[in-house]
Amino acid sequence: MTKLPLENRVALVTGGTGGIGTAICKRLAKEGAVVIAADRHAPNVELPEGIFFHDLDVTQEDSVTKLMDSVEYNQGQIDILVNAAGIEIEKTIEDTSLDDWNRIFAVNVTGTFLVSKYALPLMRKTGAGSIINFGSYDGFIADPQLAAYCATKGAVHALTRAMACDHGPENIRVNAICPGYIDTPMLQSFFGDSGDIESLQQAVRDVHPMRRYGTPDDIAGLVNWLAGDEARYASGQLWVLDGGLTAQVQQMRL
Ligand SMILES: NC(=O)c1ccc[n+]([C@@H]2O[C@H](COP(=O)([O-])OP(=O)(O)OC[C@H]3O[C@@H](n4cnc5c(N)ncnc54)[C@H](O)[C@@H]3O)[C@@H](O)[C@H]2O)c1
């Protein structure tokens, strides 16, 4: 039987029961990896074969070390780490409380730091690894009312480059995927539930050169490439996946 591309690899996906995380887990499992979907929310459907749920709060060091102990005991190694857990707070800085600020940095930035820090020893066991962080196009340009979110994603971009420099010599590659609008619960919450949501959503689709949002499967395709051997020389980069949204000059819309 032909060997699958990610056979014998172990993938840990944080935010693994979220919109993007679920698609990533399914894709990596389809390519042959054993996948641990780690999230603070358990899945509400039965997971396909090859995907195992583990409870995780990325902001809590003891929750992260407990997960790593379990992975070490059960799977013995980590080859692929996807840091997809994230939250969004839709506020200007004036409306953002210090608690809001600390909470979003705790999940989006500290979470990426903590999980990566404790995954590295398990990654070294195989002499290679791929870490895929989640930035955002909001780390380069700003959407209105997402001030703290934009700041966290800029921090993830900088952290990605720094991690790539430090761990490249041990054959551990670190990249960030920077999505545009991807159709998930996070995007639906961004649109809210009042007013003419369908017209708003269509207007947003229309400003994309591709005239649509991305899907979680679009993102999972790039994760799969970055995770695998064909991306063996790809590291330290911020991969924007936004249907061309940020390629266009905004004056075209006037
Ligand atoms: N959807 C988009 O349009 C979009 C755009 C750019 C970037 N992103 C980024 O992609 C990633 C995934 O987003 P999504 O759209 O799938 O969002 P989502 O809300 O569907 O999923 C996020 C997941 O993270 C989990 N999570 C939150 N806090 C956690 C914690 N403390 N510990 C463990 N898990 C926690 C949630 O339970 C959820 O399952 C996020 O980092 C997000 O910022 C999304």
What is the residue-level pLDDT of the chain in tens, covering all 254 positions? 789 999 999 999 999 999 999 999 999 999 999 999 999 999 999 999 999 999 999 999 999 999 999 999 999 999 999 999 999 999 999 999 999 999 999 999 999 999 999 999 999 999 999 999 999 999 999 999 999 999 999 999 999 999 999 999 999 999 999 999 999 988 888 888 878 889 989 999 999 999 999 999 999 999 999 999 999 999 999 999 999 999 998 776 66
What is the C-alpha R_g of the chain? 18
Contact 132, 187 (CB under 8 A): no
What CATH homologous superfamily does 10-185+216-242 map to? NAD(P)-binding Rossmann-like Domain (3.40.50.720)
To test the pocket of ligand 1, the residue of 39, 59, 90, 215 to mutate (highest count of ligand atoms within 8 Å of its CB) is 39
Q: What is this structure's pTM?
A: 0.97
Cα dihedral 38, 42, 45, 46, rounded to 10, equals 60
**Is the four-CA dihedral 116, 118, 120, 123 of positive or negative sign?**
negative
Pick the atom of ligand 1 nearest to 107's CA: 31
Ligand 1: distance of its center to the CA of 180 in Å? 13
Give the model's pLDDT for residue 151: 98
Ligand 1: distance of its center to the CA of 67 in Å? 19
Spacing of C-alpha 171 from chain mean position? 21
Pick the atom of ligand 1 nearest to 58's CA: 32
Ligand 1: distance of its center to the CA of 86 in Å? 4
Give the model's pLDDT for residue 147: 98
Pick the atom of ligand 1 nearest to 214's CA: 3
Q: Please give the mean pLDDT across all residues of the chain.
A: 96
Shortest-distance Cα residue to atom 43 of ligand 1: 86
Give the model's pLDDT for residue 191: 87
For 204-222, give the DSSP string. HHHTSTTSS-B-HHHHHHH
Which tokens in the block code for residue 20?
A: 């993007």
Q: Which residue has the tokens 């996948």?
A: 35
Shortest-distance Cα residue to atom 18 of ligand 1: 18
Which tokens in the block code for residue 212?
A: 């649509």
Give the model's pLDDT for residue 254: 64
Ligand 1: distance of its center to the CA of 114 in Å? 16
Give the model's pLDDT for residue 253: 65
Give the model's pLDDT for residue 252: 65
Residues linked to residue 13 through DSSP beta bridges, in sequence order: 37, 82
Q: Which residues of 4-30 are buried (b: 16+ CB within 10 A; e: fewer)?
A: ebbeebbbbbbbbbbbbbbbbbbbbbb
Which tokens in the block code for residue 105?
A: 């940095």
